[in-house]
Structures are given as structure tokens and as C-alpha cells.
Amino acid sequence: MNQIKKLMMAMTIVILTLCATVRIHAATYRVSHVSALSWEARYDVTTRGNQITDVSHVKAKGIVGSIVKKSLSQPTRNKVTLHMTRKVGSVIYQTQLKTKVTNHRIHVTTS
């Protein structure tokens, strides 16, 4: 009887150990960029695995000039783009802040 209890305890520990190694890659990242003397933007990106599940707290501000329009798009599950229209005097600029998740890493680019 004592051996059965020990065997059951060992099996329980093995099962719990196997369950503990299951990895769930979920996190929230603050994406932020400042373009010198031009604009700044930030947003929070929530991921699960290689997918972006939520984008929140979107802020964009013109350092010189102003942001007259901003919109968010998600062309695929692992990419999100903040589109901004910036006006400096009578000149209008289009710019983007892009975030992509691949291999559980986050990549941020501007254009």
C-alpha cells in the first residue's frame, strides 16, 4: 500500500512537471518612437504567441507642426500600423509607425 502511494505521488509530480513546461507567450509591450524635431507616438501592444491581440493607449503628437489625423490598421494578425498625417505650415506629411511580431520578438519600424 505504501508503494502505491509513492508511485501515485511520483506520477503526480511527473504530470505537474510536464504541465509546467507548457509555455504561453503573452505580454504587453509599450511601443514608442520619437522622430527628432518632428513627431512622437506610442501605443501598447498585447500579444499572445506571434499574434497581436490588442492595441490600446494610442497617442501621437507633433513636435513641430501637428498631427491632424491618425488611424490604426492591422493588415495581418502579427502586424499593426499607426498611420499619421502631420501638418507643418501648409505642408502635409504621411508617416507610419509599424509593429510586427515574429518568433516571439517585437520589431518596430517607421516610414
Give pLDDT, residue 4. Answer: 66
Closest to 39 (Cα-Cα) out of 65, 73, 57, 69: 65
Give pLDDT, residue 37. Answer: 85
Q: How far is CA 59 from CA 4, 34, 44, 55, in A?
A: 61, 12, 10, 11
Integer Cα distance of 65 and 17 in angstroms: 57
Q: How far is CA 51 from CA 28, 101, 105, in A?
A: 12, 7, 11
Q: Which of 14-23, 56-65, 68-77 has the lowest mean pLDDT?
A: 14-23
Give pLDDT, residue 106. Answer: 87
Which one has a higher pLDDT value, 105 or 58? 58
Mean pLDDT of the chain: 83
Q: pLDDT category, 6, cuts 50, 70, 90? A: low
* Half-sphere exposure in the Cβ direction for 57 (13 Å, CA): 10
Domain annotation for the chain: domains and CATH numbers: 25-110 (2.60.40.3860)
Give pLDDT, residue 10. Answer: 53
Is the predicted pLDDT of residue 14 greater than 60, yes or no?
no
* Complete edge-to-edge strand list for the sheet that includes strand 39-48: 26-35, 39-48, 51-62
pLDDT in tens, 15-30: 444 444 444 467 888 9
Which one has a higher pLDDT value, 23 or 8? 8
Is residue 47 within 8 Å of 24, Cβ to Cβ? no
